[in-house]
Amino acid sequence: MEMPAAMNDKRYSRQALFDGIGESGQKRIQNGSAVIIGCGALGTIIANNLARSGVGRIRIVDRDFVQLNNLQRQVLFDEEDAQRRLPKAVAAVKRLNEINSSIELEPVVCDVNPKNVEELIRGFSVVLDGTDNIETRFLLNDACIKGGIPWVYGAAVGSTGMTMPIVPGKTPCLRCMIAEMPPPGALPTCDRAGVLNSITAVVGSLQSTAALKLLIGKREPRCQLTCIDVWEGEFNSVEVLRKEDCLTCVQRCFEFLQSKATSWTTVLCGRSAVQIVPPEERPISLRALAKSLTHAGGVSYNEFLLTLKLNNYELIVFPTGRAMVKGTADESVARALYAKYVGT
């Protein structure tokens, strides 16, 4: 049901009273659009804030489904979502539609990879980083710089986090700050260090605030990386300078967008699991696959995913052929199980 205009004016009245936004800024926010890549701890905070702020169109992209251990920090989900194993993007949009029915909300259940990232962000005003790995962030950086779309980087682990807005052609980019992919094990993960819900709430809120500034056209005098430690009570800003020889924003070499012909595997943050995306994602029949796997182990499925429980592993297959293998962080093991039970 469409909300009457007068009621929407009341909805955003306190926000429009704020001098930094005002009536004109609120209209720009309502005419703006945002893509949130990743709907976990950061993504749910961002989505909640932007939907309540009245951003007119929001696309939420996530590859995963809700699990019980998400509920400690992922604010848009509940126990029923975890029990039903709803895709996070679907569950988030369902909840946000109950909060604000006057905006356009779109769930996209997929992995973000070199083959689809440009299409996922095309035509949107701003991109928000709710991802959980540096490789996908480098990919987002490539796509946004190439497409000229502002984006807001964010990361959190343990009690610490950081965020920085990136505007193509005007600010340094992520690779000005992190020139090369860190080696495996160099960066802390939620799996090893855990994560407090307070740090994801702070970082996600700073990211959504940066998005509102971008939507109303506010330009910062310099580019700053904001660093927070909620446990120690520390809040610092570091000025980031543009690298004169940056591969991405100066030389416009988009290496993370290059390889589009091979499968894309990712060790998932916060659990022992590997995601596999086939070279070509095509619709498959979960019903037919379930029937063919009845001899292999416990099989169950719904319209969103199929689950095959094996002795030491769990294989979750999505309707496009994308899969997650739980119980291992070894990509070769995951690939072998995928080939055995789904096919190459």
Q: Which residues are catalytic?
A: 190
| 3 state DSSP class of 163 | strand
DSSP result, 32-73:
-EEEEE--SHHHHHHHHHHHHHT-SEEEEEE--B--GGGTTT
Q: Using CA of residue 187, residue 192, residue 198, residue 200, what is the dihedral sign?
A: positive
Evaluate whether 47 touches 60 at the Cβ level (below 8 Å): yes
CA gap 143, 149 in Å, rounded: 8
List, in sequence order, every beta strand (DSSP E) within 112-270.
Answer: 126-129, 151-157, 160-166, 224-229, 234-239, 264-267
Q: How many CB atoms lie within 10 A of CB 149?
A: 22
Evaluate whether 164 touches 224 at the Cβ level (below 8 Å): yes
